[in-house]
Amino acid sequence: MKIGAIRGVKDILPAEIGKWQEVEFAARETLENHGYREIRIPVFEYTELFARSIGQGTDIIEKEMYTFEDSKGSKISLRPEGTAGVVRAAIEHHLLGPSAINKLYYIGPMFRHERPQKGRYRQFYQIGAELLGTDNPRVDAEVLSMLHLLLQHLGIAGISLELNSLGCKACRPVYRATLQDFLKAAGDALCNDCKRRTDLNPLRVLDCKNPHCREATREAPSVLASLCRECMDHFETVKVTLDELALPYEINERLVRGLDYYTRTTFEFTTHQLGAQNAVAAGGRYDGLVEELGGPATPGIGFALGMERLIALLPDTVGRRDRDVLYLAPLGKAAIDRTPHLLHELRRRGVCAETDYQGKSLKSQMKKADKMRARYVGILGDDELNEGVVLLRNMENKDQQKVPLDKFVEVISTTLSRDHS
Ligand code: ATP
Ligand code: MG
């Protein structure tokens, strides 16, 4: 019986892997230039970690997590996002301290049980970054400019930045209550999910995609009108810094994010090129999270970027880094016997060298070399062996020259090796 992959889970095939590798490379470059260092966290954690950090009334906790019990009865979930694990690790390994600033990034798969569609998968990949240890608003602007730079480096156009502030533990509850009153008055106009959210996580109602809920909350009070003095100043500095960096943004007072631990600056990078799945990256400040997870009170900010959606936006030119290949075409048993050693030496010197050991005709081997777009073919038959040479054919200009067998590895590796380029 043929067994297929799980629904909503994609294989990333060699034909598309160049784009993935290039995105990862560009992300590492940009993030590391900004002082971030990679952290690799487990793909599963105790369910409690996510429940506590992501919060009730969110889609992730209510319906999207893959949760199971291990043989000892511990409740475990596949990670639906990276922030909780990074913060857990930072607390556990004492990376946090009064004067410590930690800049951490991760790249890896996340798991959510959602309805699969274009740009929405059950295993998907995120590049994320977390900055722990400061609530300086210039840092918020720096996180945004870093993301902007990364998108620019990858040649992605047509992305807008939406920005909002959600207040802090002083003013957020006031807004929450005001919004709750408004939502209670709206009552039956809301979908059933939102009726429940009104008590549990009222801000989340503003994020509901149901058109009736959108209509019913059109006149909802704005979070920005309830910000306390400190939060207003904080937001102002973020905006002024972005202006100084000439980074365009739009204020979106309905941008709330599904997660409970977000405070103050909240943002999303969106595009019109992906249909309904328009968010490419999202994030914000979470000054309360570290404490919530049992660590010392430590402010933080972070984001996660969806790799599938980013890759769907990449220009076609990205990720076409063909390697220069030398195809070795041995003819006859004596030449085939020499092949393993020659290939090994070439590869040891960093050359991408290929052959098939099938002893086929020259014509058939040339076809094969052509198909893999080899830059050179080294022909080694009985005549060449007797003469102590390899016949080297340049596949671009069809030039042929004899290279002494004992110099062959050296000649090729100086021309083709990445180590020498
Ligand atoms: P959405 O509103 O699209 O469901 P979200 O608010 O759930 O997004 P986040 O938790 O903020 O998304 O995750 C950050 C980014 O990860 C998103 O902007 C998106 O690019 C990507 N992402 C989230 N869920 C998925 C998914 N199921 N498949 C592919 N990419 C995803
Ligand atoms: Mg979602």
**For the segment 221-237, what is each residue's pLDDT rounded down to a tens digit?**
999 999 999 999 999 99
What does pLDDT average to over the chain?
A: 94
3-state secondary structure of 106: strand
Q: How confident is the model at residue 322, as a pLDDT?
A: 75
Share of the chain above pLDDT 70, in %: 98
Neighbours of 374 (CB within 10 A): 22
Instruction: Return the CATH fold of 325-420.
Output: Rossmann fold (3.40.50)
Q: Give, in degrees to the nearest 5, the angle at Cα 242 between 237 and 243.
A: 95
Q: How confident is the model at residue 98, as a pLDDT?
A: 83
Q: Which pLDDT band, with edges at 50, 70 and 90, does 262 fall under?
A: confident
Q: Which pLDDT band, with edges at 50, 70 and 90, does 243 fall under?
A: very high
For residue 114, the ligand closest to its alpha carbon is: 1
Which atom of ligand 1 lies nearest, measured to the CA of 59?
A: 7
Q: What does the pLDDT look like over 159-194, one tens digit per residue?
A: 999 999 999 989 999 999 999 999 999 888 999 989
Q: Which of 12, 54, 112, 162 to mutate to test the pocket of ligand 1 (most atoms within 8 A of CB)?
A: 112
64 lines ligand 1 (CB under 6 A): no
Cα of 320 vs centre of ligand 1, distance in Å, is 27
Cα of 112 vs centre of ligand 2, distance in Å, is 8
Which atom of ligand 1 lies nearest, measured to the CA of 114?
A: 27
Q: How confident is the model at residue 259, as a pLDDT?
A: 63
CA distance 167 to 270: 22
Which atom of ligand 1 lies nearest, measured to the CA of 304?
A: 14
CA separation (Å) from 228 to 108, 110, 340, 372? 37, 35, 72, 63
- Whether the per-residue pLDDT at 395 is higher than 50: the answer is yes
Cα of 323 vs centre of ligand 1, distance in Å, is 34
Q: How confident is the model at residue 231, as a pLDDT?
A: 97
Helices (H), 187-331: 192-200, 211-216, 229-244, 289-292, 307-312
Q: How confident is the model at residue 421, as a pLDDT?
A: 44
CA distance 247 to 369: 48
Q: Which pLDDT band, with edges at 50, 70 and 90, does 420 fall under?
A: very low
Find out whether 300 and 133 touch, Cβ atoms under 8 Å.
Answer: yes
Q: Which of 51-55, 188-192, 381-385 has the highest mean pLDDT?
A: 381-385
Q: Residue 277: which of 243, 302, 245, 312 has the closest Cα?
A: 312
Give the CATH number of domain 14-171+227-312.
Answer: 3.30.930.10
CA separation (Å) from 173 to 54, 167, 180, 378? 18, 9, 10, 73
Q: How confident is the model at residue 174, as a pLDDT?
A: 93
Q: How confident is the model at residue 176, as a pLDDT?
A: 92
For residue 81, with 0-12 CB atoms within 10 Å meaning exposed, 13-18 middle and 19 or more buried, which class applies?
buried
Which two structure tokens, joined as six digits, stand for 401? 């020259």
Ligand 1: residue whose CA is nearest its atom 24: 120
pTM exceeds 0.85, yes or no: yes
Find out whether 132 and 101 touch, Cβ atoms under 8 Å.
Answer: yes
For residue 356, with 0-12 CB atoms within 10 Å meaning exposed, 13-18 middle and 19 or more buried, which class applies?
middle
124 lines ligand 1 (CB under 6 A): yes
Q: Where in the chain is the domain with CATH 3.30.930.10?
A: 14-171+227-312
Cα of 279 vs centre of ligand 1, distance in Å, is 7
Q: What does the pLDDT look like over 23-46, one tens digit per residue?
A: 999 999 999 999 999 999 999 999
Share of the chain above pLDDT 90, in %: 84
Q: How confident is the model at residue 97, as a pLDDT?
A: 87
Q: Where in the chain is the domain with CATH 3.40.50.800?
A: 325-420
Q: Give, in degrees to the nearest 5, the angle at Cα 282 between 251 and 293.
A: 115
121 lines ligand 1 (CB under 6 A): yes
Q: How confident is the model at residue 257, as a pLDDT?
A: 75
Give the DSSP per-residue string, 43-89: SEEEHHHHHHHH-TTSHIIIII--EEE-TT--EEEE-S-SHHHHHHH
For residue 111, the ligand closest to its alpha carbon is: 1
304 lines ligand 1 (CB under 6 A): yes
In the numeric block, the tokens 């979908």 are attached to: 191
Q: How confident is the model at residue 218, as a pLDDT?
A: 92
